[in-house]
């Protein structure tokens, strides 16, 4: 309503400053390739929260301008700070006067992922339903994006405070977050801390900001070789380098070529300046065929010579050796391989460079696929109007109606001011690989913490493979940390009150159950066995992966999962980000859980019903009795493990409800009620006639309902039919009924 509700606090004499957690959206939902430090500085006073806002923050379709009035522009803290405040509707002045107290940014920061400047306030944690990547992000680890956002923000605030009259606007600001746990033991010791997997994409700055950048390293090499800063330009090389070892006496050129292989840049002379250009740039221009000069004098006008290397000359495997920080700087390897090619050549790249496993994997992928893209080379001539083109530029030429994008490798000026151009095919997408790395050995020796095991005990209907003769309780065990090597389940009849000896071993496993949480609410379903194409379910997994299946596999029972208390199946699992999936093509209410197809909520537990679940036989004497269970991680102590109370009800032995209830009247209003039975075991419809009887005998009861009250029970039924005579209807209701509500057991 426009009221300055916090002003009584800010104007209190005991308050010295106004504290703000400043996680404003800065850049307007851009991809990382379009975000620069200059753009971040620009959008601190521009964009969402400054010029406009969204009336629907979730969908972000209702963009509404502030119309030049900064009163409600929540990113414009300067206007709030530099104005007197008056509440609307006769509320009067608040006591705040312009510049009354300084503003502090008690927190500001950015996650270390691409596009972090778009939405700095979000974080990625697959165990949380509030886990998000910034808008416009592809969910990729990007220390440089975080570094650029922090640099640009600090530069903006420093410059703003230096302006006349604004010296106290934000005199102090605190970057979130510097963790008190000592780096690099955090995050390297993943067997000690359970949240180490969040460090790479989180707001932490420990270990992310202290490294040098590639341009600074190259500048030092060039200056040692005798060049001065006016001789070169390395401003485009902003990649962070965690370490580069020179342990012999290479030439400067040899060191540069080694870095070039690891960080993908070109060196070229431009107007007397040694220029370093990062690869992966977009095409500068497209040159039509009629603008190119012929390369021959024959009867056929040939504008470009295009050469394609044979497949056998190309690599099918690239191996990258590097120094892994997470392995105590010991050598590690990542590789990339093409499986369905005839090529047999292999490339081995060995770098005295400190890399993360993810980046080393990217180097392998990019090196392999740029070699295949660059198998096509070009030679052509251009008129003087293109004399400004130089090596490392990316251009597109059109030959015979086909566009070819290429990176110029040579540009030779000819006597008549024409240029002879040589190039190799270029694909910007090749430099954007992001496949998970292979695991490398983690450093250790400084401490060891055995991860806990999360235990979920399940009282489920019988699964298709069950024989149906015994009660079966299922247990899903998930690992809460790395280094998990299995767990053992123990049970106590008295909750351990008679001492540790009361717990006896039940079962053991080394398989992790695939468990997660529902991000959205799975909508209600009343469509029966028809595939639910209207609803989807987004899940975040604690561990493991999901996969799509065929229609046949779906109908044969694959991809079954427990969501809340409903068993579903899903045909398609679309990977959204790391361990985050969108499930579609759903079969709902499986295995007798059709009564659970409503009432879901975001945060429902998701457990994949696969072979990782433990099966524990339960005698009938234990049904309904609370027992206490512990899932003890291998190497942990029974006494240190929390217990879980659970009462098993024997649901695997409970018959499925009847279906397809129908009623037929004769001419005297006598009602015959029929239904179709189901079976919980051996339910495959193999003979086309009927499924076998899954119980020792067939018995039914039918309740005749009057609202919530049972007015008659028809019992002793041995087949799927019951008679409800007109006389009985008159006894129960005073007259034969046009409609009757029944329940069949």
pLDDT digit string (tens) for 557-614? 899 999 999 999 999 999 999 899 999 999 999 998 988 999 999 999 999 999 999 9
| Per-residue pLDDT at 297 | 59
Long-range contacts of 412-418 (CB under 8 A, 24+ apart): 413/387, 414/381, 417/384, 417/387, 418/293, 418/381, 418/382, 418/383, 418/384
| Per-residue pLDDT at 556 | 87
Residue 546 clears pLDDT 80, i.e. is over it: yes
* Burial class, 62, CB count within 10 angstroms (exposed 0-12 / middle 13-18 / buried 19+): exposed
For the ranges 34-38, 224-228, 510-514, 526-530, the lowest mean pLDDT is seen at 526-530
| Cβ atoms within 10 Å of 625's Cβ, excluding its own | 12
| Per-residue pLDDT at 439 | 63
Rounded Cα distance between 652 and 668, Å, is 43
Q: Which residue has the tokens 């071993």?
A: 505
Is residue 728 a contact partner of residue 712, using CB atoms and an 8 Å limit? yes
Please name every residue paired with 570 in a beta bridge, in sequence order, or none if there are none. 586
Provide CB contacts within 8 A for 650, sequence distance 6+. Answer: 471, 618, 620, 623, 624
Rounded Cα distance between 70 and 135, Å, is 25
| Per-residue pLDDT at 220 | 95
Provide CB contacts within 8 A for 291, sequence distance 6+. Answer: 382, 383
462 membership: H or E segment, kind and range:
none
Is residue 623 a contact partner of residue 644, using CB atoms and an 8 Å limit? no
Rounded Cα distance between 262 and 254, Å, is 13
| Strand positions, DSSP E, 470-619 | 471-480, 487-492, 503-509, 515-518, 537-541, 560-563, 566-577, 580-587, 605-608, 614-618
Rounded Cα distance between 399 and 286, Å, is 11
Local confidence band at 340 (pLDDT 50, 70, 90 cut-offs): confident
Distances (CA, A) of 64 to 23, 49, 57, 121: 21, 10, 11, 22
Rounded Cα distance between 45 and 156, Å, is 10
What tokens appear for 125 in the block? Answer: 């944690």
| Per-residue pLDDT at 216 | 94
What tokens appear for 615 in the block? Answer: 């099966």
Rounded Cα distance between 209 and 146, Å, is 9
Q: What is the mean pLDDT of residues 672-700?
A: 83
Query: Strand pairing of 286-287 and 394-399?
Result: parallel
45 membership: H or E segment, kind and range:
none
Q: What is the mean pLDDT of residues 372-398?
A: 93
Is residue 591 a contact partner of residue 468, using CB atoms and an 8 Å limit? no
Rounded Cα distance between 504 and 441, Å, is 35
| Per-residue pLDDT at 723 | 95
Residue 66 clears pLDDT 60, i.e. is over it: yes
For the ranges 162-171, 476-485, 672-681, the lowest mean pLDDT is seen at 162-171
| Per-residue pLDDT at 449 | 67
| Per-residue pLDDT at 690 | 77
Rounded Cα distance between 572 and 582, Å, is 8
Residue 225 clears pLDDT 80, i.e. is over it: yes
Mean pLDDT of the residues in the chain: 89
Q: Per residue in 369-406, is it b (16+ CB within 10 Å) or e — as a string?
A: bbbbbbbbbbebbbeeebeebbbbbbbbbbbeeeebbb
| Per-residue pLDDT at 495 | 64
Local confidence band at 298 (pLDDT 50, 70, 90 cut-offs): low
User: Residue 217 in 3-state DSSP?
Assistant: helix
Distances (CA, A) of 32 to 75, 117, 451: 22, 9, 36
| Per-residue pLDDT at 501 | 58
Across the beta sheet with 471-480, the strand order is 452-458, 471-480, 614-618
Percentage of the residues of the chain whose pLDDT score is greater than 70: 95
Please report, in angstroms and rounded to a whole number, the separation of the first and last CA atoms in the chain. Answer: 58
* Burial class, 578, CB count within 10 angstroms (exposed 0-12 / middle 13-18 / buried 19+): middle
| Cβ atoms within 10 Å of 15's Cβ, excluding its own | 12
Rounded Cα distance between 419 and 408, Å, is 12
Question: Dihedral through CA 94, CA 98, CA 102, CA 107, nearest 10?
Answer: 70
Residue 1 clears pLDDT 90, i.e. is over it: no
Top pLDDT among 247 and 63 is at 63
Question: Dihedral through CA 550, CA 555, CA 559, CA 562, nearest 10?
Answer: 150
| Per-residue pLDDT at 405 | 96
Rounded Cα distance between 628 and 644, Å, is 5
Local confidence band at 445 (pLDDT 50, 70, 90 cut-offs): very low
Backbone angles phi, psi at 585, to 5 degrees: 65, 60
| pLDDT (tens digit per residue) in 497-526 | 655 458 888 899 999 999 999 999 999 998
Q: What is the pTM of this model?
A: 0.53
Rounded Cα distance between 105 and 20, Å, is 5
| Strand positions, DSSP E, 338-413 | 345-355, 376-382, 394-399, 402-413
Rounded Cα distance between 525 and 586, Å, is 10
| Per-residue pLDDT at 447 | 47
Distances (CA, A) of 629 to 297, 457, 606, 634, 641: 88, 9, 21, 16, 10
Please name every residue paired with 628 in a beta bridge, in sequence order, or none if there are none. 492, 645
Please name every residue paired with 568 in a beta bridge, in sequence order, or none if there are none. 561
């Amino acid at each position: 309503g426009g009221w300055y509700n916090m002003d009584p606090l800010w104007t209190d004499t005991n308050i010295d400053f106004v504290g703000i957690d400043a996680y404003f959206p800065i850049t307007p939902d851009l991809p990382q390739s379009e975000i620069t430090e200059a753009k971040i500085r620009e959008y601190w006073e521009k964009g969402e929260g400054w010029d406009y806002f969204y009336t629907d923050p979730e969908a972000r379709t209702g963009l509404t301008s502030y119309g030049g009035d900064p009163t409600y522009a929540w990113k414009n803290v300067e206007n709030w700070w530099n104005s007197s405040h008056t509440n609307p509707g006769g509320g009067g002045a608040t006591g705040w006067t312009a510049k009354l107290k300084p503003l502090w940014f008690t927190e500001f920061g950015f996650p270390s992922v691409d596009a972090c400047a778009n939405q700095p306030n979000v974080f990625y944690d697959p165990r949380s339903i509030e886990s998000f990547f910034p808008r416009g992000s592809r969910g990729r680890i990007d220390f440089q994006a975080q570094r650029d956002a922090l640099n640009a923000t600090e530069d903006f605030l420093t410059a703003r405070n230096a302006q006349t009259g604004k010296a106290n606007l934000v005199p102090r600001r605190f970057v979130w977050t510097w963790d008190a746990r000592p780096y690099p033991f955090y995050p390297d010791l993943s067997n000690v801390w359970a949240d180490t997997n969040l460090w790479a994409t989180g707001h932490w700055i420990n270990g992310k900001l202290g490294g040098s950048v590639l341009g600074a390293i190259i500048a030092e090499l060039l200056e040692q070789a005798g060049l001065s800063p006016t001789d070169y330009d390395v401003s485009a090389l902003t990649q962070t380098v965690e370490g580069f070892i020179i342990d012999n006496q290479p030439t400067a050129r040899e060191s540069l070529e080694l870095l070039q292989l690891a960080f993908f840049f070109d060196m070229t002379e431009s107007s007397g300046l040694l220029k370093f250009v990062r690869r992966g740039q977009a095409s500068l221009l497209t040159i039509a065929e009629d603008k190119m000069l012929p390369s021959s004098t024959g009867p056929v006008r040939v504008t470009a010579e295009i050469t394609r290397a044979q497949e056998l000359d190309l690599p099918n495997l690239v191996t990258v050796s590097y120094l892994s920080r997470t392995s105590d700087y010991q050598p590690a390897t990542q590789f990339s391989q093409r499986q369905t090619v005839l090529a047999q050549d292999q490339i081995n790249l060995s770098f005295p460079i400190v890399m993360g496993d993810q980046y080393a994997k990217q180097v392998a992928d990019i090196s392999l696929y740029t070699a295949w893209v660059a198998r096509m080379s070009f030679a052509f001539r251009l008129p003087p109007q293109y004399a400004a083109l130089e090596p490392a530029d990316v251009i597109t030429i059109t030959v015979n109606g086909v566009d070819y994008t290429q990176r110029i490798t040579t540009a030779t000026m000819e006597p008549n001011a024409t240029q002879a151009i040589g190039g190799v095919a270029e694909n910007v997408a090749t430099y954007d690989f992001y496949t998970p790395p292979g695991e490398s050995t983690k450093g250790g020796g400084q401490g060891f913490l055995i991860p806990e095991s999360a235990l979920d005990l399940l009282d489920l209907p019988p699964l298709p493979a069950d024989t149906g003769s015994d009660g079966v309780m299922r247990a899903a065990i998930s690992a809460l940390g790395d280094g998990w090597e299995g767990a053992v389940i123990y049970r106590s009849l008295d909750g351990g009150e008679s001492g540790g000896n009361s717990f006896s071993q039940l079962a053991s496993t080394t398989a992790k159950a695939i468990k997660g949480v529902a991000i959205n609410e799975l909508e209600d379903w009343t469509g029966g066995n028809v595939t639910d194409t209207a609803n989807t379910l987004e899940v975040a997994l604690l561990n493991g992966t999901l996969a799509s299946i065929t229609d046949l596999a779906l109908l044969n029972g694959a991809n079954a999962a427990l969501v809340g208390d409903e068993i579903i199946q899903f045909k398609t699992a679309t990977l959204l980000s790391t361990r985050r999936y969108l499930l579609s093509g759903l079969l709902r209410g499986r295995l007798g859980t059709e009564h659970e197809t409503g009432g879901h909520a975001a945060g429902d537990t998701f457990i994949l019903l696969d072979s990782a679940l433990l099966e524990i036989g339960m005698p009938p004497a234990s049904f309904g009795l609370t027992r206490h269970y512990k899932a003890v991680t291998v190497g942990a102590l029974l006494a240190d493990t929390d217990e879980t109370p659970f009462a098993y009800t024997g649901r695997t032995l409970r018959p499925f409800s009847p279906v397809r209830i129908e009623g037929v009247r004769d001419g005297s209003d006598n009602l015959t009620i029929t239904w179709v039975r189901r079976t919980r075991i051996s339910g495959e419809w193999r003979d086309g006639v009927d499924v076998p009887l899954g119980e020792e005998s067939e018995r039914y009861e039918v309740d005749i309902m009057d609202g919530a009250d049972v007015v008659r029970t028809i019992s002793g039924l041995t087949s799927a039919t019951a008679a409800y005579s007109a006389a009985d209807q008159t006894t129960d209701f005073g007259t034969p009924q046009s409609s009757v509500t029944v329940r069949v057991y």
